[in-house]
Amino acid sequence: MAYRVTLIPGDGTGPELAAALETVIAASGVPVEWERHDAGAAVLERRGTPLPDEVVESVRATKVAIKGPITTPVGAGFRSVNVALRVALDLYACLRPARSLAGVPSRFAGIDLVVVRENTEDLYAGVEHQVTPDAAESIKIITRRATERVARFAFDYARAHGRRRVTAVHKANIMKLTDGLFLRVAGEVAADYPDIAFDDRIVDNLCQQLVMAPERFDVLLCPNLYGDIVSDLCAGLIGGPGVAPGANIGAECAVFEAVHGSGPDIAGRDIVNPTAFLLSGALMLEHLGEGAAAGRVYDAVAAVVADGRQVTRDLGGTAGTQEFARAVAARLSAAAVTP
């Protein structure tokens, strides 16, 4: 029976990425029935909201979604659809693996890190107010409940994926109450996982060490804001956001998406690099229990990137997005007939 998956193409380069994904998943041999739903700026014009209820209802029903990037107005306008989805579906853990791919221009090689970011609170809770016209406050919220569940997610992930170490990232020397709580609860959870090493780093020191000796780290457990920044840093270590996949995971539902944004400057030109989105598709297959197919998709994307003849121009090639996807699909089809 086919898996039902909600597909939210998004805007900007999103629809091109969605088309590439459909090509590759079809070639993976995993039967997927897509429930397509639009969200974002174009929907806002038609429906008065960037995230109509039926989008959230679809994900609640299918429990699995993959979404393209969605443009978020800066400073004013609608609240980020990405944040709204995470909140509505309580997608409390953001997973961002950063693994070097041969063929991707980068200053570093051999990177293999996983960022697990708390997704629901911290300074992203949106509790801000204007104190006077010249002063504004944003309130940082850290709770035991949210920290404990994301810490358990990080340790469970580490255990399931043969990872050896979880490092908690914080600034507890300055924010003694909020980050102090995060660090303390992470340490308590660590005690339940004696097979996984646990340590911690102050976030500024971590950033320095990540660019000097990334091999010291394995799984990085971060509160929301540091996780946002550190995961972009890790995407930079592997050659930029165009190759970094991601997932937002809750107790019930999961939404997969690339780290990069909607690329308004390159939208509609068939030049967006689909690597990050296709690897997000591989994470989705793994989540569906199709680990072998997920591995095949990862390997096929990695092989096309390493080969370098059918990649997009950001990777030094001349291929369009859809040609890139067809090359990945061809590798998958060839792998299916070669025992």
Active site residue 134: no
> Which neighbouring-strand residues pair with 122?
141
In this structure, what are the phi and psi dihedrals at residue 98, rounded to the nearest 5 degrees?
-130, 105
Please identify which residue in 151, 183, 266, 329 interacts with ligand NAD, judged by CB under 6 A. Answer: 266
- Let me know: does 302 contact 102? Beta carbons within 8 Å: yes
Q: How far is the CB of 321 from ligand NAD (least distance, A)?
A: 8
Please identify which residue in 224, 273, 280, 310 interacts with ligand NAD, judged by CB under 6 A. Answer: 273
Residue 30 makes CB contacts below 8 A (sequence gap 6+) with 3, 285, 288, 290, 293
- Let me know: does 220 contact 169? Beta carbons within 8 Å: yes
Cα 331 to Cα 21: distance, rounded to the nearest angstrom: 14
Helix 144-160 and helix 178-190, axial crossing angle in degrees, nearest 10: 40
Q: What is the DSSP string of 95-138?
A: EEEEE--TTS--S--S-EEEEEEE-S-BGGG--EEEEETTEEEE
Active site residue 204: yes
| Single-letter amino acid code for the residue at 323 | E
Please identify which residue in 314, 322, 333, 335 interacts with ligand NAD, judged by CB under 6 A. Answer: 314
The 3-state DSSP class for residue 305 equals helix
Active site residue 176: no
Catalytic choice (11, 179, 228, 232): 228
Site for ligand NAD in 243-262 (CB under 6 A): 257, 260-262
Question: Would you say 178 or 280 has its CB closer to ligand NAD?
Answer: 280
Considering the rule CB under 6 A, would residue 64 count as an interface residue with ligand NAD? no
Q: How far is the CB of 65 from ligand NAD (least distance, A)?
A: 12
Q: How far is the CB of 79 from ligand NAD (least distance, A)?
A: 11
For residue 70 the two structure tokens come to 């969605």
Considering the rule CB under 6 A, would residue 20 count as an interface residue with ligand NAD? no
Question: Would you say 276 or 305 has its CB closer to ligand NAD?
Answer: 276
Question: Would you say 101 or 181 has its CB closer to ligand NAD?
Answer: 101
Active site residue 171: yes
Cα 36 to Cα 138: distance, rounded to the nearest angstrom: 36
Catalytic choice (3, 92, 124, 157): 124
Considering the rule CB under 6 A, would residue 276 count as an interface residue with ligand NAD? yes
> Is the torsion defined by CA of 188, 189, 194, 200 positive or negative?
negative
The number of residues in the chain equals 339
Q: How far is the CB of 83 from ligand NAD (least distance, A)?
A: 9
Please identify which residue in 9, 69, 214, 239 interacts with ligand NAD, judged by CB under 6 A. Answer: 69
Cα 183 to Cα 151: distance, rounded to the nearest angstrom: 10
Residue with the shortest CB distance to ligand NAD: 261
Q: How far is the CB of 99 from ligand NAD (least distance, A)?
A: 16
The residues assigned a catalytic role are 124, 171, 204, 228
- Binding interface with ligand NAD (CB under 6 A): 69-72, 82, 241-242, 257, 260-266, 272-273, 276, 314
